[in-house]
Amino acid sequence: MSGSKFESLEKSLENHLPEDELVEVKRILFGNSTKKLVLPECAVSGAYDRDFELQGHVFQCGSEQLRAPRRIRVGLVQNHTVMPTDAPVLDQIAAIHNRIAEIVEVAAMCDVNIVCFQETWTMPFAFCTREKEPWGQFAESLAKKYNMVIVSPILERDGLHDTLEGIGQEPEEPHPRVGDFNESTYYMEGNTGHKVFQTQFGKIAVNICFGRHHPLNWFMYSMNGAEIIFNPSATIGELSEPMWSVEARNAAIANHCYTCAINRVGTEHFKNEFTSGDGKKAHHDLGYFYGSSYVAAPDGSRSPGLSRTRDGLLVVELDLNLNRQISDKWGFKMTGRYAEYAEEMSKVVREDFLPNIVKE
């Protein structure tokens, strides 16, 4: 259950459903079908040799008379940590850097413009231990080599925020207080608002991990102009898997933008046992990280996910023009009653707020 035995929903459907029903099931579950993106042979063999999954998909988008297409490629990287968690810190960092470098190399072959790694990708997800050492020692920077925007969510030394090294800003995210996700033991919420980054490949934002549960967080990035919102995450099957396909996708639909949900893979074992506040015995791992990284589009469609079990690179070609096309079609931003919401919200947060309840 919620472990590594099941490869993926997509594979199971493809293996067992008759073709005509598969078409309907995919339409209902995934929306407008994505097309296969043909990737160069060197990338395919590179991924094979380096033992990671490589998928390529293209979202549909109409052409316009007055705007050229704004086609870009995003790359989502999901991976296991490489070394045991009690190996020397520098060895762990070096090993994960090597692993990511060989995946990014393939991303470059695939002409990826923006790549996003999983949350705190340079380290095991050690917040479950509540130990400050040696985890506080994981902090560094990434060399610039390709003409690629890199969203690189790492633990930042200065002030201990969960931050974005490639972009250099800690975001204003809510942090979890659930299960073994003890991030609040390590860093504080940011206070820089919902910044959006204008890159050469479009306006992007990063809604880190737990922020995906908060529709208002996605919304604020969208209001600030985000065309793609990345959600680098670390989350386990037992806790969140049935929500995974819902939340980032709902955000893409509601906000007329693309969203990219990235999760790590595997089980990470820690030397010192810890308890989880659930009455169960002390144990050595947080649970199974189920991968399943995917991209959602504003038209309600989504890409297939990477597997639940393997390292992977998901390359998705998308046209940023789709955002406005869907906004013009559905008009959520036109019809949203934002002035009313703003007024109601300002009342909600006041101490003397009285809920609007009608009694029988």
Site for its own copies in 173-212 (CB under 8 A): 174-178, 189, 193-200, 203, 210
Q: Which stretch binds its own copies (CB under 8 A): 94-102, 128-136, 315-323, 346-354?
A: 346-354
Contact region for its own copies (CB under 8 A) — 15-23, 69-77, 114-122, 126-134?
A: 15-23
Q: What is the largest CA-CA distance in the chain?
A: 69
Cα 324 from Cα 337, distance rounded (Å): 19
Q: Which is nearer to its own copies, 274 or 332 (CB)?
A: 332
Total interface residues for its own copies by CB under 8 A: 85
State the nearest-atom distance from the C-beta of 278 to its own copies, in Å: 10
Query: CB-wise, 136 or 179, nearer to its own copies?
Result: 179
* Length reported for the chain: 360
Angle (CA) 132 137 138, round 5°: 110
Containing 344, the helix (H) or strand (E) segment is helix 338-348
6 touching its own copies, by CB under 8 A: yes
DSSP output for 96-136: HHHHHHHHHHHHHHTT-SEEEPPTTTTS--GGGG---TTGG
Q: How far is the CB of 359 from its own copies (least distance, A)?
A: 5
User: CB–CB of 231/217 below 8 Å?
Assistant: no
| Min CB(156)–its own copies separation in Å | 17
For residues 219, 220, 225, 226, the Cα torsion angle rounded to the nearest 10 degrees is: -70
Task: Name residues contacting its own copies, limited to 76-95 (CB under 8 A).
Answer: none
Q: Residue 87 has which token pair?
A: 């190996």
Amino acid at 80: H
Judged by beta carbon, residue 134 or residue 179, the one nearer its own copies is: 179
Three-state secondary-structure class, residue 350: coil
Q: Which member of 133, 351, 352, 360 binds its own copies (CB under 8 A)?
A: 360
* Residues from 278 through 307 that contact its own copies (CB under 8 A): 300-301
Residue 290's DSSP bridge partners are: 265
3-state secondary structure of 270: strand
Q: Token pair for residue 272? A: 């010192």
> Which span sits near its own copies by CB under 8 A: 52-60, 87-95, 109-117, 348-356?
348-356
Q: Does 137 bind its own copies (CB under 8 A)?
A: no
From residue 303 to residue 332, what is the string marking binding to its own copies with x (rule CB under 8 A)? --------------------------xxxx
Name residues contacting its own copies, limited to 207-246 (CB under 8 A). 210, 213-216, 218-220, 223-225, 240-246
